[in-house]
Structure 1
Amino acid sequence: MQGWSKAGMASKLFDRLRRSIFKEGELSSETDRTDDFPESSELEDDTDCVSARLDGTLCFEGDAVLESEDAGDTSGPDSDSDLFGESLDNACSSTDISPMVPSPKCSDMTTRQLQENWRSSRTRNTPEKLIFEVTDASVVHETNSKYVLYTIRVIHSGMFDKTPAVITRRYTDFERLHSRLRRRHGDEMEAVYFPRKKLRKNFVAETIAKRSRAFEQYLSHLHSLSDLRTTPTFLEFFYLSDLHAGQMLMRVGRCQEALGSFLNALRLQEKLGCNQLLQQNHFQRVHWFFTLSALVSCFQDLEQLSEAQEHCDRALQDLAPSQEALQQHQLHPLLIPLLQSNVRLSWKISKDKRHWEALYHEIQDQGIDIGNQPSLKEWLIKESIEDSEGMVRVKSKSEDAL
């Protein structure tokens, strides 16, 4: 009995001592927080910024501009280091945010929001979430300028993506996208913030790393907004340069290289859901069928006939006209060249071609001249690929060298 009482007293003393130490530590941390741990206040600001971002608002910069005495970072007039300033001190800068556990007072709210988003996504047809990941950022030196080229991988979230797509963009490309979106969709862009340029230190590793993170979050934010992710301006930012590059390579007979550009463009269009917007968006329809037709032509030239026929069949499934359109001779200009290619390809690989042969003969019976049509490759080479603003991109120096 006496042994038990001694053990009980020891346990009570230990428990009292533990509570006392914990209380003193808590008090000391509260009184010394500002002096000993100045980064703690920034940590609180960061968690608030995470909460704000989940509510649909991103913050990439503050009002202050970080200046540097390092004159070695200045560059030519075409570089990415002019005019604008980007704050690296602002605690709410998304470029300063790193993966961390949010403070207890906002963690409940974050969890609740995530649960609501998860439940709502199961009850409505929402597009698959995409991840935009900067995998490389390299400094490019040209004759009169220097800039950073960011390599961004676009993948589906929550699954193993066998066909990731990649784009390379510089700061001015992002800036042009932001300017066009603000001009066309000002109301929707009110809550979207853009990482500003700096006067100096644009090419140091820290700035490049922070800006890479900012661009990831910028694209993710745009894609999260339903009114913006389906706009031609946003979609064309990803795939249109690949179409231009592929067409230039095709024109000089470099089909193997052109094939890579067109395949990447197709993957980007698929991930962004362009094939679901064919009836709503004229430019998505034009670009989608150009991509599929270009793949047919490249695969044919490379003697990959099964792949060519597969993409040809895929295009024709959406291009096949209704009886009313057929009677009124309202046919897509690619329809006849694709039909001719599909019949030949199907014959070569011993695949059933009766369905498309029947449509081909039906077009003939309507009195439509099918003999005076350009070949698929001729049409692709001559076609001008315009963006949604009616602009045809000017050739770059690298394309002139092809």
Structure 2
Amino acid sequence: MLTCQNSSIGSSTIRWWADGMASKLLDRLRRTLFKEGAVSAELGCTEEFPESSELEDDTECVSARLSGTLSFKAERMLDSEDLEETSGPDSDSDFLVESIENGSCSTDGSPVASVPGGSSMLTSRLQESWRSSQIRSVPQKLLFEVTDATVVQEGTSKYVLYTIHVIQSGMFDKTPALITRRYTDFERLHARLRRLHGEEMEGVCFPRKKLRRNFVAETIAKRSRAFEQYLTHLHSLTELRHAPTFLEFFYLGDLRAGQVLLRGGCYQEALGHFMNGLRLQEKLGSQKQQRTHWLFTLLALVACFQELDQLGEAQEHCDRALEDLAPSQDSLQHQHLHPLLIPLLQANVRLSWKISKDKRQWEALLLEIQDSGVDTGNQPSLKEYLVKEVLEDSEGDPKHRVKGEST
């Protein structure tokens, strides 16, 4: 009798414990579904590219995706105004995206995101998977990741400089490339794209300016995430992805900075800019759209490697340039030759001879050009061309500079 009674008490305890656990699980499920329902409602307004609609979220949290990757370089983060960014409404919902998961900001000025639980991690993975499926039509997906944000003080002006890595996804990227940009650089890009591609830019959101709290860690982290998704959205749209204005935003500043250094004889420093510019152009696939800039980059690398006595690398880039400049038989007969073809051939023959590489192919082409009646003497050197060339952007502006360009 006692045994039966104890068994009854044990069963009641188990049922009570099971009911309590079930209640907790149901409560957690309701909260998760409520959160996902709210996210779905937000995503519904921009189905083709959900990130742009997320940027209108008013959630006050730091993006979990930036945790562990974004670093701030400043003595302290000040709650003061950016003297060059003081127009527009003072709103905390001025970013392209806000993290769905709860985050926090540490007292030392660096963003720290909370560790997601099992259900939130699953939700996050599903969202990322869904987003990836929406842009599978992109031939080569690029990732744009803000890895550093530095507060820069120039006289009475202060601004945040963002370092953005451009990474080719789907494989280990052995050729990293990066750009450094400030808010006004993005703003200029957005204005130009709206003027030249108004119809395609209708669904593209851009982070609004703020009057206050521009230099606190939370604001910088949110804006960093916004710029990542802004560039990702632009790159997902075919016409914008190939637009000269979009392409030049990445690499033209490096080419101009490298040219200034090359003119001053600083070949090692110039080489860094030109190599970064080359990698950016390769990742963006701008060789055909911006052929003049592509050839300038290759020839600048030839000149820098020659001056640094790295002849193998110089000859390799000569070959790459000749792949684009080598004339067809018809062009050769009608003497429709690129003005840089002959000096490039002459440079390649000399370099090939110095490194004991077979040069007969280029000697034969040079001889054929000479036999066709073209004067191969008195040709400008590659270095003379590089020094004198005016690097214009797609709007014909040779004076425009991207501030904060570095490699």
CA–CA separation in structure 1 for the residues paired with 2:182 and 2:170: 28
2:56–2:96: 8 Å Cα contact kept in structure 1?
A: yes
Deviation per CA, 1:293-347: give whole Å up to 9, x if none: 0000000010000000000001101110111111222111221111011000000
For residues 6 and 256 of structure 2, the distance between their equivalents in structure 1, rounded to whole angstroms, comes to 82
Aligned residues of 1:195 and 1:211 also touching (Cα < 8 A): yes
Uncovered stretches (5+) of structure 1, i.e. residues with no partner: 34-38
SS in 2 for 1:369: coil
Counterpart Cα distance in 1 of 2:404 and 2:124: 50
Shift of 1:230: 1.2
Identity %: 57
- Matched residue, 1:321: 327
Name the counterpart of 2:108.
none
- Correspondences of 1:50-129 after superposition (within 5 Å): 55-57=48-50, 58-59=52-53, 62=56, 73-76=80-83, 79=84, 81-85=85-89, 87-89=91-93, 94-98=97-101, 110=127, 113=130, 121=136, 126-129=138-141
Instruction: Tell me, in whole angstroms, the C-alpha distance in 2 between the residues paired with 1:336 and 1:15.
Output: 90
> As a proportion of its length, which structure holds more helix?
1
In structure 2, the CA distance between the partners of 1:112 and 1:354, relative to structure 1 (3 Å rule), is closer
Note if 1:186 corresponds to 2:193.
no
Q: Please give the alpha-carbon distance, in whole angstroms, between the structure 1 residues aligned to 2:45 and 2:10.
A: 47
Amino acid at match of 1:250: L
Task: Supply the distance in 2 between the matched residues of 1:161 and 1:397 (Cα, whole angstroms).
Answer: 27
Q: Distance in 2 between matches of 1:253 and 1:362?
A: 35
Contact 1:60-1:194 at 8 Å conserved across structures: no
| Equivalent in 130, 152, 156 of residue 168 of structure 2 | 156
Matched residue, 1:20: 19
What does residue range 352-391 of structure 1 map to in structure 2 within 5 Å? 352-391=358-397
Spell out, residue by residue over 1:254-281, the C-alpha distance to the aligned partner (whole angstroms, 9 max, x if none).
1110000000000001111123xx1xx2
Q: Distance in 2 between matches of 1:180 and 1:398?
A: 19
What is the TM-score normalised by the length of structure 1? Answer: 0.80
- Deviations along 1:26-83, one digit per CA (max 9) or x if unpaired, are 787799x8xxxxx99777645654676773140365499x9xxxx961343xx2x211
For 1:334-345, what aligned pairs fall within 5 Å after superposition?
A: 334-345=340-351
Measure how far apart 1:227 and its partner are: 1.9
What amino acid sits opposite 1:259 in the alignment? L
Q: Take 2:22 and 2:174, find their aligned partners in 1: how far apart are those partners?
A: 53
Q: Secondary structure at the match of 2:98?
A: helix
Please name the residue that 2:338 is paired with.
Answer: 332
Q: Supply the AA of the counterpart residue of 2:86.
A: D
- TM-score (normalised: structure 2): 0.79
Distance across 1 between alignment mates of 2:233 and 2:145:
13
> Residues 262-273 of structure 1: matches in 2 within 5 Å?
262-273=274-285
Q: Quick check: 1:139–1:148 contact (8 Å CA) kept in 2?
A: yes
Equivalent residue, structure 2, for 1:36: none
Q: Partner of 2:261: helix, strand, or coil?
A: helix
SS in 2 for 1:20: helix
Task: State how far apart, in whole Å, the 2-side matches of 1:350 and 1:167 are.
Answer: 38
Q: Distance in 1 between matches of 2:273 and 2:172?
A: 22
Report the AA paired with residue 16 of structure 1: R
Contact 1:86 1:198 in 2 (8 A): yes
Greater shift, 288-297 or 92-101, is seen at: 92-101
State yes or no: 1:239 paired with 2:233.
no
How many angstroms does 1:393 deviate by? 2.6
The alpha-carbon deviation at position 16 of structure 1 amounts to 3.2
Taking structure 1 as reference, are residues 308 and 16 closer, same or farther at Cα in structure 2, changes over 3 Å only? Answer: same
Corresponding residue to 2:310 among 304, 313, 317: 304
Q: What CA distance in whole angstroms lies between the structure 1 residues aligned with 2:119 and 2:228?
A: 20
Change (3 A) 1:24 1:17: same
Which has the larger displacement, 18-27 or 306-315? Answer: 18-27
Instruction: Report the Cα offset of residue 8 of structure 1.
Output: 8.1
Among 184, 187, 207, the residue aligned to 1:195: 207
C-alpha RMSD of the superposition: 3.7
Query: Which residues of 2 match residues 187-266 of structure 1 at below 5 A?
Result: 187-266=199-278
| Native 8 Å contact 1:88 1:96 kept in 2 | no
CA contact (8 A) 2:56 2:97 kept: no
In the alignment, the residues of structure 1 paired with residue 299 and residue 214 of structure 2 have an alpha-carbon distance, to the nearest angstrom, of 41
The answer to whether the 8 A contact 1:61-1:86 is kept is no
- CA offset digits 1:380-401 (Å, max 9, x no partner): 11011111111113469999xx
Q: Is this contact kept in 1: 2:148–2:163, CA < 8 A?
A: yes
| Counterpart code for 1:294 | A
CA distance in 2, matches of 1:230, 1:180: 14
Kindly tell me the number of residue pairs found equivalent between the two proteins: 371
Structure 2 segments unaligned to the other structure (5+ residues): 61-77, 102-112
Distance 1:175 1:97, change over 3 A: farther
> CA–CA distance in 2 between the matches of 1:176 and 1:353?
47
**Offset, 1:353:** 0.6
